[in-house]
Amino acid sequence: MPGHVFGRSTKGTLPVAARGDGCYIIDSAGKRYLDGSGGAAVSCLGHSDAGVRAALHEQLDALAFAHTGFFTSEAAESLADRLVEHAPEGIGRVYLVSGGSEGVEAAIKLARQYFMEIGQPRRHRVIARRQSYHGNTLGALAAGGNEWRRAQFAPLLVETSHIAPCYEYRDRLEGETPEAYGRRAADELDAEIRRLGPETVMAFIAEPVVGATAGAVPAVPGYLRRIREICDRHGVLLILDEVMCGMGRTGHLFACEEDGVAPDMITIAKGLGAGYQPIGALLTSGKIYDAIAAGSGFFQHGHTYMGHPMAAAAAGAVLDAILGRSLLARVRAQGEKLDAALRAELGQHPHVGDIRGRGLFRGIELVEDRDSKAPFDPARKLHAKIKAMAFEAGLICYPMGGTIDGQRGDHILLAPPFIIEDAQIDELVGKLSGAIKGALA
Ligand code: PMP
């Protein structure tokens, strides 16, 4: 192999992924890797789903591509219809893109255009949370709270400020109820909007369950409802980024259903194409769409591959599988088993501070000291060692390290395919536990 592909790392070489078999990826040497993180919460149906493959063959035989400047397609229309049908209240339209960052870019631009068109042009600021990832393109990067990712590209394109995340393990005070903590955490948004001036703020963006930067941290009950009230009070749009936690990952098609919140916009991606095709979507309220339709009549955005029929066909088949094969109930059941297995194996471990998450979206936070919750020295790169040892043992898991505000441990994100069997849960937990113990030794 020539080896000219330029990947994330400029060091070392990677095994060559050759085949997929259910929850496993098999490399060119025949080694099998259990996909304990779905890549990064992508492969919700595993790697050889017959329904998606059949849908892709059918679409390919009929037509691969037609530009959306000229045509719509049955695949795209039916996908959008079904997403709207199952979306939270108020969502009325779908804008199809090719991935998560593109979805977030579209959300930010749609918010901006909406306020321009309704005569509130001063609303341009975005508020997000310090512990968040919203993508790597310049607008989405500006929204994300990850300082080290942002720093080298500053000044960023979108004026964003960041409040604290809802991070119960670290921030709930002793004796404080989760509900009281949720109110206190959400009220930071109110304070920030007032500080900036409500007439300048267009949107608040957050992940309902924080993924890559935090390791599956759900908001406490009531937090997102309070956030919704605060946004409404100040006329600010609420964008929920479900690129990672959406499409059934938490046991609900949209994670925010469990929080009882209807946002103005939702972004989804990863699990939408389940790895079979690159696709993302921005779901938006009818209110926003109608305002633009009644105004300029044209969302000033667009990408060549938006609404790609192959991608839409794959996503339609993914949605068929999730809804038709009762996979949401399966995610909840297997998620409980994964949680129980993790707690049984690692719950008492002196360096496992927190095990958390929803459905098949689970995180483990590692700490130097359980009582003080002090993280390990980031220079130790514990998360990277765990990833490497697990990979060696044939397990894919998604690690993250470093600190935010000096208060975050290394963590491991787990997001296995929804089809994971009980025996594979045991294999996952056994190999992960071996890797954690090995990396700490
Ligand atoms: N938002 C969230 C919450 C994500 O987790 C990601 C990807 N990790 C993105 C946006 C960006 O998606 P993509 O990598 O497909 O551009």
- Read out DSSP for 314-372? HHHHHHHHHHHTTHHHHHHHHHHHHHHHHHHHHTT-TTEEEEEEETTEEEEEE-SBTTT
What's the whole-number average pLDDT of the chain?
96
Are 287 and 241 part of one and the same domain?
Answer: yes
Instruction: For residue 363, report the distance from its CA to the centre of ligand 1, in Å.
Output: 17
Region 117-133: what's the mean pLDDT? Answer: 97
Domain count, the chain: 2
Residue 10: pLDDT band with limits 50, 70, 90: confident
| ipTM of predicted assembly, 2 dp | 0.99
Handedness of CA 390, 391, 395, 400 (dihedral sign): positive
Are 272 and 349 part of one and the same domain?
Answer: no
| Ligand 1 touching residue 180 (CB < 6 A) | no
Q: In the block, which residue shows the tokens 């979306």? A: 87
Using only C-alpha atoms, the chain has a radius of gyration, in whole angstroms, of 21
Are 216 and 357 part of one and the same domain?
Answer: no
CA distances from 243 to 135, 229, 246, 362 (A): 9, 23, 6, 16
| Ligand 1 touching residue 205 (CB < 6 A) | no
Are 196 and 223 part of one and the same domain?
Answer: yes
Residue 126: pLDDT band with limits 50, 70, 90: very high
Region 355-380: what's the mean pLDDT? Answer: 94
Report the distance separating Cα 36 and Cα 185, nearest Å. 31
CA distances from 247 to 118, 260, 328 (A): 32, 16, 9
293-319: per-residue pLDDT in tens? Answer: 999 999 999 999 999 999 999 999 999
Find the CATH number of the domain harbouring 330.
Answer: 3.90.1150.10
Residue 406, pLDDT > 60, answer: no
pLDDT (0 to 100) of residue 148: 82
For residues 90 and 106, the answer to whether their CB atoms sit within 8 Å is no
Residues above pLDDT 70, as percent of the chain: 98
Are 91 and 195 part of one and the same domain?
Answer: yes
Report the distance separating Cα 91 and Cα 108, nearest Å. 17
Are 174 and 99 part of one and the same domain?
Answer: yes
| Ligand 1 touching residue 362 (CB < 6 A) | no
Instruction: For residue 345, report the distance from its CA to the centre of ligand 1, in Å.
Output: 30
Residue 62 domain-assigned (yes or no): yes
| Ligand 1 touching residue 100 (CB < 6 A) | yes
pLDDT (0 to 100) of residue 408: 73
The residue whose C-alpha atom lies closest to atom 14 belonging to ligand 1 is 100
Domain that holds residue 295: 54-324
pLDDT (0 to 100) of residue 403: 60
Residue 402, pLDDT > 70, answer: no
Are 116 and 248 part of one and the same domain?
Answer: yes
Are 281 and 147 part of one and the same domain?
Answer: yes
pTM listed for this prediction: 0.97
